[in-house]
Amino acid sequence: MPSSIPDIVISRLPIYLRALERLSQEGHEVTSSHELGKRLGISSAQIRKDLSHFGGFGKQGTGYKIAFLREQLRQVLKVEREWEVALVGAGDLGSAVARYKGFAERGFHIACVFDSSPEKVGRSIDKFSIQSIDQLPSIIQERGIRIAMIAVPAEHAQEVANTLVGAGVKAILNYAPINLSVPDDVHVQYIDPVLHLQRMTYYLT
Amino acid sequence: MPSSIPDIVISRLPIYLRALERLSQEGHEVTSSHELGKRLGISSAQIRKDLSHFGGFGKQGTGYKIAFLREQLRQVLKVEREWEVALVGAGDLGSAVARYKGFAERGFHIACVFDSSPEKVGRSIDKFSIQSIDQLPSIIQERGIRIAMIAVPAEHAQEVANTLVGAGVKAILNYAPINLSVPDDVHVQYIDPVLHLQRMTYYLT
């Protein structure tokens, strides 16, 4: 596999994977770049080009075998295994994240939940027992956790990110409405639904 | 104001606005494209170019007055007013969305919550009384609601989107893990945290 696939290509692969899983659930066994493109609003040429980075998953005219392409994409994205994820923040937002079933269903297992509030530590959110943030570095290092989600107030998010990075975390999903500064080898993605709403209001008349 | 600003520029404006609001909370009154760029990981040249689409918000060397730039961006994005939003789906995910305080704090007011399940209709999530999806078209039309959030299972999301579009909704924030087909004049944004995680695992070794 080539060592350097453009980031924009990688960012589209999970979207293809999700569409393939959907097609599979609907009982399809074969698809085409045309059908995928129609579902996703992406040109079929773009899809073929993106997938060509990883070798020949299918031929024009014969289509893609969904089960095969899906497994290949899962391997490329390294989601054929289950990942442990740490969650920091057990307030309203963190609790909602902890309760969201979509993570475990798709291979991301919340392994531990941390909070700094003495009132929260020791309590539970569903099956998760809330641990003190003081224990975060040792627990993350022991378990070899590389992925974390931040669901603390904006003013504490950078400090939490620094602690996570210090403990060896390399991928952060940040729910706090603030941009984070992290070293180059750490990846950050953001979830802020209000940003998405504000992107759309511009177009409303 | 020019009639056609590139979509990619519009997509960055909410990020600038969020950073300005943060700077303001921290007590700053003036900022620069350099400082904003450092905070956001975007080049200062890009920021100046983006903002130049909307006229002169500041001059190189003198910096931007935060309060002024913030108000200008709020007007451009049409978020200087409060927007009513309809929420469809009152399961685990929909309930979490309904309880999330970040919408109201930033000008998006959930005006009504719908579900198709007779067991849920009539119940409440916090202050929201769940209404039958059968009432959705008339309520949305009466109240002139243009924005909706979908938090139903993937297999029902397209049908819900069709109903929303039929009722006059022009902007949809879709939490269901599926791509939606909508007319060209309807905007859709997606929230799927698993996609963001899958974008990062590729880079983990």
In sequence order, the 6+-apart residues with CB closer than 8 A to the CB of A77 are A10, A13, A14, A17, B198, B201, B202
Q: Which helix (H) or strand (E) holds A137?
A: helix A136-143
Q: Please state the domain extents for chain B.
A: 7-76, 83-195
Please give the CATH architecture assigned to the domain spanning A7-76: Orthogonal Bundle (1.10)
User: Is A190's pLDDT higher than 60?
Assistant: yes
Q: What does the pLDDT read at residue B59?
A: 61
Of the pLDDT bands very low, low, confident and very high (cuts 50, 70, 90), residue B2 is very low
Q: How far is A163 from chain B (nearest CA, A)?
A: 19
pLDDT, average across residues A68-80? 94
Provide the pLDDT for residue B172.
Answer: 98
The answer, yes or no, to whether residue B62 has pLDDT greater than 80, is no
Average pLDDT rounded to a whole number, residues B195-202:
96
A77 interaction partners in chain B (CB closer than 8 Å): 198, 201-202
Note whether A195 contacts B171, CB cutoff 8 Å. Answer: no
Distance from chain centroid for Cα A193: 15
Band the pLDDT of B57: cuts 50, 70, 90: low
Chain centroid to CA A24: 21
Residue A186 has pLDDT above 90, yes or no: yes
Residue A107: what pLDDT? 93
Quick one: pLDDT at residue B171? 98
Alpha helices in chain B (DSSP H): 7-25, 33-40, 44-52, 66-76, 92-99, 102-105, 136-143, 154-166, 193-201
Query: What pLDDT score was predicted for residue B60?
Result: 59
Pick from A50-64, A69-83, A88-102, A155-169: least confident: A50-64
Q: What is the pLDDT of residues A44-69, one digit of tens each?
A: 999 999 998 877 666 656 788 999 99
Helix (H, G, I), strand (E, B) or coil at B176: coil
The pLDDT, as a whole number, for residue A60 is: 59
Tokens at B84, concatenated = 């009513």
Q: Cβ of A108 and B197 within 8 Å?
A: yes
Q: What local confidence, expressed as pLDDT, does residue A2 receive?
A: 47
Lowest mean pLDDT among B55-64, B66-75, B86-95: B55-64
Residue B101 is nearest to which of A17, A41, A92, comparing CB atoms? A92
Domain B83-195 classification at class level: alpha beta
How many Å lie between the alpha carbon of B135 and the closest alpha carbon of chain A? Answer: 24
**Mean pLDDT score, A119-127:** 94
Query: How high is the ipTM of this complex?
Result: 0.92
Q: Would you say residue B67 has pLDDT above 70?
A: yes
The tokens describing A119, both together, are 């009132």
Q: Please say if the pLDDT value at position B181 is more than 90.
A: yes
Q: Name residues whose C-beta falls within 8 Å of residue B112's C-beta, 6 or more positions apart in sequence.
A: B86, B87, B128, B131, B139, B140, B143, B145
Q: Is A14's pLDDT higher than 80? A: yes
Cross-chain residue pair A13–B92, CB shorter than 8 Å: no
Global pTM reads 0.89
- Please give the pLDDT value at position A59: 62
Closest Cβ–Cβ partner in A154, A181, A193 for B22:
A154
Q: How far apart are CA B12 and CA A192, in angstroms?
A: 13
